[in-house]
Amino acid sequence: MLDEEDVAREFHRRVSTALAGIPFELVIVDDGSTDRTPTILDELAEVDPRVRVVHLSRAFGHQMAITAGLDHARGDAVVMIDADLQDPPEVIPELLAAWEGGADVVVAKRRERPGETRFKLLTAKAFYSVMGRLAQIDLEPNAGDFRLLDRSALDALLQLRERSRFLRGMTSWVGYEQAVVEYDRDARHAGETKYPLRKMIRLAIDGVSSFSHFPLQIATVIGFWISAIAFLGLPLVIIARYSGIYDRGVPSVLFAVLFIGGFQLMTLGVIGEYIGRIYDEVKRRPLYIVKSTANVREHEHDVA
């Protein structure tokens, strides 16, 4: 959760109602909230021992916060779900039914997405289309991080400690028997989205660069064809020069220089993105830092 004071209690109520009669624990990660969210979560932990709270020292980001929750989960099956209630907790029993039917990973796939702008719907569709063509994994279209993992699949996932995390891709990469449950997504219960366009673009870049070398490969291909065209065009320039039809105009040369220069800068940017990811990995900093906990035993799952 990040600044979800208007949602926290309702989220707890709906999860508790949806899982009535089923033994469960609710691991809630506070991703450095600056409102009353930390206080509310601690109050919930005091009255409900099933609630286990992990407070991070600052906002490490959505994917890191989910990772912290997974690190502290103890169940035979674990469900990843955001607290804004766009993903209804009432769907969790359906995920459990698919798990009991033999699936190790159960992906919740959205049928309807009310409350989201046309722009976001179009960009989401474009993202899944691009990932489906470029990534070296089978990514379920129109599915987010809302999913269930069996303990065996979760243990495999937790071995992956890379910093640029794209969890929906990582859960696909680990394999295991996977199933899909479709559901209708709700509008946000209260508050504002914590995933603006900037973060969506960053997540998309992490997804593509984590599971595909295509940006590097396409730069090589385009560079090859530019060189080939230049090589094949050289005789034409020589003939034009000595036949007297050579044009000394600047525009054509300027266009060529700008085109090649722009492509070189774009290629450097792609290379820089991959080098930056390598740099982040070799520093080996922890994925997150736990500030405090509630209903979590000391040193339990002490990993980051």
In angstroms, the CA 203 to CA 220 distance is 24
Residue 34: both structure tokens together: 């600056």
Residue 218: both structure tokens together: 């396409």
The 3-state DSSP class for residue 293 equals strand
Q: Which CATH class is domain 8-212+284-294?
A: alpha beta
Pinpoint the alpha helices (H) of the chain: 8-18, 37-47, 62-72, 92-100, 118-134, 151-158, 167-173, 197-211, 214-243, 250-283
Which residue in 75, 97, 224, 223 sits closest to 150, CA to CA? Answer: 75
Q: Give yes or no for a contact between 71 and 155, defined as CB atoms under 8 angstroms apart.
A: no
Q: Give yes or no for a contact between 115 and 188, defined as CB atoms under 8 angstroms apart.
A: yes
User: What are the backbone angles phi and psi of residue 256, rounded to the nearest 5°?
Assistant: -65, -45
In angstroms, the CA 174 to CA 171 distance is 6
User: What are the sequence ranges of the domains in the chain?
Assistant: 8-212+284-294, 214-283
Q: What is the DSSP letter of 187?
A: P
The 3-state DSSP class for residue 149 equals strand
pLDDT of residue 192: 63
pLDDT of residue 23: 92
Per-residue pLDDT tens digits of the chain, which is 304 residues long: 888 888 999 999 999 999 998 999 999 999 988 899 999 999 999 999 999 999 999 989 888 999 999 999 988 999 999 988 888 999 999 999 999 999 999 999 888 766 566 766 676 676 666 666 666 677 777 788 899 999 999 999 999 888 888 888 888 888 888 899 999 887 665 656 655 666 667 666 766 666 666 666 676 777 667 666 666 666 766 666 666 665 565 556 656 676 677 677 777 777 877 787 788 778 888 899 999 988 887 655 555 6
pLDDT of residue 1: 85
Does this model's pTM top 0.85? My answer is no
pLDDT of residue 41: 93
Which residue in 297, 293, 288, 296 sits closest to 66, CA to CA? Answer: 288
Print burial letters for 54-84: b (CB count within 10 Å at least 16), e (below 16). Answer: bbbeebbbbbbbbbbbbbbbeeebbbbbbbb
The 3-state DSSP class for residue 58 equals coil
Quote the crossing angle between the two packed helices 197-211 and 118-134, to the nearest 10°.
Answer: 10
pLDDT of residue 263: 72
pLDDT of residue 234: 63
Q: Give yes or no for a contact between 77 and 151, defined as CB atoms under 8 angstroms apart.
A: yes
Please state the separation of Cα 39 from the chain's center in Å.
28
Q: Give yes or no for a contact between 55 and 288, defined as CB atoms under 8 angstroms apart.
A: no
pLDDT of residue 111: 82
